[in-house]
Structure 1
Amino acid sequence: MPRKKRESVENISPLRPAPPEILFDESNWTKHFVPADGLAEWVAKTLMDESSPLYNEDHKHLHYADIEYLWAAVENKRQMRRVVGQCEEVTFRCGAWQKGRQEQQMKEWFGRVPAYLITLDANYARECSDIEFCALIEHELFHIAHKPDEFDQPAFTKDGLPKIGIQSHDVEEFVGIVRRYGVGAAAGKTAALVEAAKRAPEIGNVDIARMCGTCLLRAA
Structure 2
Amino acid sequence: MILQHEDHFEPCRELADWARETFIEPGGTLENEDHEHLQHASIGFLWTNVANAKKGRRIVGQAEPGKPMGMGGKWGKARQEYQVTQWFGEVPDFIITLDANYASQCSDAEFCALVEHELYHCAQEKDEFGAPRFNQQTGLPVFGMRGHDIEEFIGVVRRYGAEATHIQELIQAAKEGPTIAPANIAQSCGTCLARAA
Query: Does TM-score exceed 0.5, indicating one fold?
Result: yes
SS of structure 1 residue aligned to 2:110: helix
**Which structure is richer in relative contact order (CA contacts within 8 A, separation 6 or more)?**
1
Q: Which amino acid aligns with 1:86?
A: Q
SS of structure 2 residue aligned to 1:63: helix
How far, CA to CA, are the matches of 1:153 and 1:99 in structure 2?
31
CA distance change for structure 1 residues 78 and 36 in 2, over 3 Å: closer, same or farther? same
After TM superposition, give the deviation of residue 97 of structure 1 in Å: 2.2
User: Which ranges in structure 1 are unaligned for 5 or more consecutive residues?
Assistant: 1-18, 185-204, 210-220
Query: TM-score with structure 1 length normalisation?
Result: 0.67
Match of 2:69 among 89, 92, 99: 92
After TM superposition, give the deviation of residue 173 of structure 1 in Å: 5.0
Does residue 1:136 correspond to 2:93, yes or no? no
The 8 Å contact of residues 72 and 120 in structure 1, kept in 2 or not, is answered as: yes
Match of 2:149 among 139, 145, 170: 170
Comparing 160-169 with 83-92, greater Cα deviation is found at: 160-169
How far, CA to CA, are the matches of 2:130 and 2:151 in structure 1?
21
Tell me the C-alpha RMSD between the 2 structures. Answer: 2.1
Does residue 1:68 correspond to 2:47, yes or no? no
User: Which ranges in structure 2 are unaligned for 5 or more consecutive residues?
Assistant: 168-197
CA distance change for structure 1 residues 25 and 178 in 2, over 3 Å: closer, same or farther? closer
How far, CA to CA, are the matches of 2:102 and 2:62 in structure 1?
13
How far, CA to CA, are the matches of 1:25 and 1:168 in structure 2?
31
Match of 2:79 among 76, 101, 126: 101
Greater CA radius of gyration, 1 or 2? Answer: 2
Count of residues in correspondence between the two structures: 164
Query: TM-score with structure 2 length normalisation?
Result: 0.75
Identity of aligned residues (%): 49
The 8 Å contact of residues 4 and 49 in structure 2, kept in 1 or not, is answered as: no
Does residue 1:150 correspond to 2:108, yes or no? no
How far, CA to CA, are the matches of 1:133 and 1:127 in structure 2?
9
Q: 1:12-161 maps to which residues of 2 (within 5 A)?
A: 19=1, 23-26=2-5, 29=6, 32-90=8-66, 91-93=68-70, 94-158=72-136, 159-161=138-140
CA distance change for structure 1 residues 175 and 148 in 2, over 3 Å: closer, same or farther? farther
After TM superposition, give the deviation of residue 48 of structure 1 in Å: 1.8
Match of 2:159 among 173, 180, 184: 180
**Bigger fraction of residues in helix:** 2
The 8 Å contact of residues 135 and 208 in structure 1, kept in 2 or not, is answered as: no
